[in-house]
Structure 1
Amino acid sequence: MSSTISFSDANRGFQAGTIHGPVNTTFQIPLERPETPPRPSAVVPFDRDTDFVEREIFDQIQAKCTAPGSRTALVGLGGVGKSQIAIELAYRLRERSPETWVFWVHASNAARFEQSYRDIANCVKVPGRQNPKADIFQLVHDWLQDEGKGIWFLILDNVDDAGFLLKAQSAGRDGEMSCIKGRSLQPLISYVPRRQNGLVLITTRSRNAALRLVEQRSIIAVEPMEKRDALALL
């Protein structure tokens, strides 16, 4: 026997004629297709500087940054070369250890931090990242927390104000924390886990900011180039 289905104003935009047989009104979102796990790679948005001049301090930085579970901060004036040192470290680490993941996080504000975490999620193909309601920070955190994923080197660049990393964030404001609306979040720094297989490097102009994120012995001051290094660059 045929039946006719009608829709109220709440269903405006739907049309149905005469329907024969039972009607199934249950809608299901298609499941994500399983993705092939990617091989370790680098998410560094800058090319390697072919004119990079290795300073005496570079060996000290490299030794500290590659120690298991290290969390190091480079502190110095703007333009002194902190980010260039971080870029060179990233490329050298990949050359020496191709099985190491390298991630670059723009950490000047919360919005750029969030976008960088989305880039990481896409790079490592974290399951669930395409869900509009996904907690992208938690997804990336859990991936980093898993020692089975291998060694990773994460660079937090330009953390001149550590405040936004350390205070509890509130979701729903325009341009900030848009991925998880309607609930409070943990401090962003808590989504950078401390693991023996995880290396973290922070660049900042502020020693006070560095002291809020790492221990004093893990801070390395980057001074302007000495004359001989400047001549070598020239």
Structure 2
Amino acid sequence: MTALVKPLFSVPFQRDYDFIDRKDMFSQIEEQLQRQYRVSLCGLGGVGKSQIAIEYAYRFQQTRPQSHVLWVYAASFTTFLQACHDIARSLKLPSCDEPGTDPCELVSKWLNEEDHSWLMILDNADNAELFFPSVGSDSPPATVTQPQRSLNDYLPSILNPQKSLLVTTRSRFVGQDLAYGELCVEVPPLSPQEAMDLLHLKAKGAVGSFDKYSTERLLDVLGYIPLTITQAAAFIIRNRWTFQGYLAALEKDKQNLTDYLSQELQDPRRPRDFPNSIFRTWKLSFDHILAQKPKTATLLSLITMFDPQRIPEKLLRPLTEREVDFRMAIGTLDGFAERRVYCIQLALAGGNQIMDELFVISLDSMGLYLLALL
């Protein structure tokens, strides 16, 4: 155990004072942490999982000032390793800088033995292979550097009311497994009023007035998703444009919609190596599926070529040799939070549309165009 002058707070992002309070999300987090000590926030890319986690971290620090708050970016083994190394150095853990030392093991051991309370936030834990390798994967072995142990082995095993873990992930399956089988806290898009409040806060310097029809229609096109709203507001302000002009550009044609929503505008509360545009964010999800489960990616690509209204299974079934493979492929798509974006539920079972626009995303890795009716 290490004597610290003050508790460690390693969240690498500033607090967002324009944050839209989603009280139901925080009450669910608190309730589950008190019962299970692990909770996963699941939802599509850009819906605000990490922003909720950032805000929760600052609230946690305010109410428990003697507790440690540790942020671990888990998008890859490299980022996980770097986060553990930074934490180990900040805590001045013995031998943390010695050659051959595993900083992840040091941090894991310290978390299990530390007397003080702490909260660990595991952000962007989307890749199942990093936490549960070779479980149900139909892809060849990875060629990039991989950990000798799964990242799940490094997560603290001793949890109690004073030691808790908060996870953000796009994968419901990963989220449930990391939360000991507990159902994820699903993060939906904003309500119309929440979306309007966010737009007003983020576009305070916009040219022109907040025309009620234009702003409501714009939010509808943007799907009430925080990332699209924040990026739209930033684009409008940077280019000194009006809401009416931006909306007209989005509604002009599909290519315009794709071009504008693919623009990368820096967000100080997102990792530097993480895409800021909604299309590039969603494409990451497809890339994960393509790398780990090629059969599922093939099925998804075919689904997107149909009119997404109750596609007969008999048109998709020949893609897999066995019934169980087909069911597992559908399950993988349904388990990934972007299932709504890719219209799995809408196409196979009928469902609610998030948006009424047709998005076209170029998938360079397959030479295809992924069509997603939102």
How far apart are 1:226 and its partner, in Å? 0.2
How far apart are 1:186 and its partner, in Å? 3.0
CA deviations over 1:124-154 (Å, ceiling 9, x no partner): 1111101112121211111101142x11111
Q: Which residue of 2 aligns with 1:220?
A: 185
Moved more, 201-210 or 214-223: 214-223
Q: Which residue of 1 aligns with 2:131?
A: 165
Q: Which residue of 2 aligns with 1:202?
A: 167
Q: Which residue of 2 aligns with 1:10?
A: none
Q: Does 1:99 align with 2:62?
A: no
CA–CA distance in structure 2, aligned partners of residues 215 and 46 of structure 1: 28
Paired residues of 2:25 and 2:185 also in contact (CA < 8 A): no
How far apart are 1:67 and its partner, in Å? 2.0
Over 3 Å counting, the alpha-carbon distance change for 1:36 and 1:75 in structure 2 is closer
CA deviations over 1:6-63 (Å, ceiling 9, x no partner): xxxxxxxxxxxxxxxxxxxxxxxxxxxxx96342121011110010011132332341
SS at match of 2:178: coil
SS at match of 2:182: helix
More helix by share: 2
- Residue 158 of structure 1 aligns with an amino acid whose one-letter code is N
Q: Which aligned pairs between 1:48-197 and structure 2 lie closer than 5 A?
A: 48-64=15-31, 66-67=33-34, 70-148=37-115, 150-167=116-133, 176-177=146-147, 185-194=148-157, 195-196=159-160, 197=162
CA–CA distance in structure 2, aligned partners of residues 152 and 65 of structure 1: 16
Structure 1: gaps (5+ residues): 1-34, 178-184
Q: Which aligned pairs between 1:7-86 and structure 2 lie closer than 5 A?
A: 37-64=4-31, 66-67=33-34, 70-86=37-53
Residue identity over aligned pairs, in percent, reads 36
CA RMSD of aligned residues (A): 2.2
Q: How many residues are matched?
A: 188
- Residue 220 of structure 1 aligns with an amino acid whose one-letter code is V
CA–CA distance in structure 2, aligned partners of residues 58 and 69 of structure 1: 16
Q: Which residue of 1 aligns with 2:366?
A: none
Paired residues of 1:65 and 1:200 also in contact (CA < 8 A): no
Paired residues of 2:29 and 2:185 also in contact (CA < 8 A): no
CA–CA distance in structure 2, aligned partners of residues 144 and 134 of structure 1: 17
TM-score, normalization: structure 2?
0.47
How far apart are 1:114 and its partner, in Å? 0.4
Q: Which residue of 1 aligns with 2:226?
A: none
CA–CA distance in structure 2, aligned partners of residues 162 and 56 of structure 1: 29
SS at match of 1:155: strand
CA deviations over 1:95-140 (Å, ceiling 9, x no partner): 1111110111111111111001111101211111011121212111
How far apart are 1:66 and its partner, in Å? 4.5
SS at match of 1:212: helix
SS at match of 1:43: coil
CA–CA distance in structure 2, aligned partners of residues 58 and 227 of structure 1: 17
Structure 2: gaps (5+ residues): 135-142, 201-374
More strand by share: 1
- Residue 153 of structure 2 aligns with an amino acid whose one-letter code is S
TM-score, normalization: structure 1?
0.73
- Residue 207 of structure 1 aligns with an amino acid whose one-letter code is R
Paired residues of 2:176 and 2:183 also in contact (CA < 8 A): no
CA–CA distance in structure 2, aligned partners of residues 161 and 225 of structure 1: 25
CA–CA distance in structure 2, aligned partners of residues 137 and 91 of structure 1: 24
- Residue 89 of structure 1 aligns with an amino acid whose one-letter code is Y
CA–CA distance in structure 1, aligned partners of residues 178 and 26 of structure 2: 22
CA–CA distance in structure 2, aligned partners of residues 66 and 129 of structure 1: 30
CA–CA distance in structure 1, aligned partners of residues 87 and 39 of structure 2: 21
Paired residues of 1:75 and 1:206 also in contact (CA < 8 A): yes
CA–CA distance in structure 2, aligned partners of residues 230 and 125 of structure 1: 43
SS at match of 2:83: helix
CA–CA distance in structure 1, aligned partners of residues 34 and 49 of structure 2: 19
Structure 1 or 2, whichever has the larger Rg, is 1
